[in-house]
Amino acid sequence: MDDRPAECEIDLLVIHSISLPPGEFGGEWIDDLFHNRLDAAAHPYFEEIKSLKVSCHILIRRDGEVIQYVPFNRRAWHAGESSYCGRTCCNDFSIGIEVEGSDDQPFTDPQYRTLGRVTKEIMALYPKINRERITSHAAIAPQRKTDPGPMFDWERYRSLLPEAD
């Protein structure tokens, strides 16, 4: 995390998914990754990602628990090389929410409820973020990412959000 560029307005919300190791839930590995203290020797997959310096604003665990890693006004390193509506460097102007999950397992009821609530709070704080300014990691980095994946129910999620004005 670091400071956003001066005069950069926050106007995008990016939904991600994460599991560490891939396909496994719970434990301390996600915390360790976002705090840049992941033990590469703890799992073979961690050796592949040991040099990553990543963060997100919020993680939503399988039980709906919310963990905030980066204040919204600071830049988190969640999007990587990315582009949205012709603008690059999405980390500069977006908030990133990680939902603990994977491409091949359904997300939980508590996660959807929490994600809906948190999204509404973010939309109230940052009015430029509306239903049309919420996207996936896959949409902003299509050559690199698939998350939150095909098991994420966008229709269900959007039904929890306020209608557009």
Give catalytic status of residue 98 as yes or no: yes
- Catalytic: which of 9, 24, 98, 121? 98
> Is the pLDDT at 164 greater than 90, yes or no?
no
For the record, the structure tokens of 133 come out as: 């300014």
Domains of the chain are 2-18+55-159 (3.40.80.10)
- Give residue 165's pLDDT: 59
Residue type, 157: Y
Q: Convert the pLDDT of each residue in 62-92 to its tens digit.
A: 999 999 999 999 999 999 999 999 999 999 9
Mean pLDDT (whole number) for 114-136:
97
Q: What is the mean pLDDT of the chain?
A: 96
- Give residue 97's pLDDT: 98
Q: Convert the pLDDT of each residue in 129-151 to its tens digit.
A: 999 999 999 999 999 999 999 99
Region of residue 135 (left: phi > 0; alpha: psi -120 to 50; beta: else): beta
3-class secondary structure, 123: helix
For the record, the structure tokens of 95 come out as: 């908030």
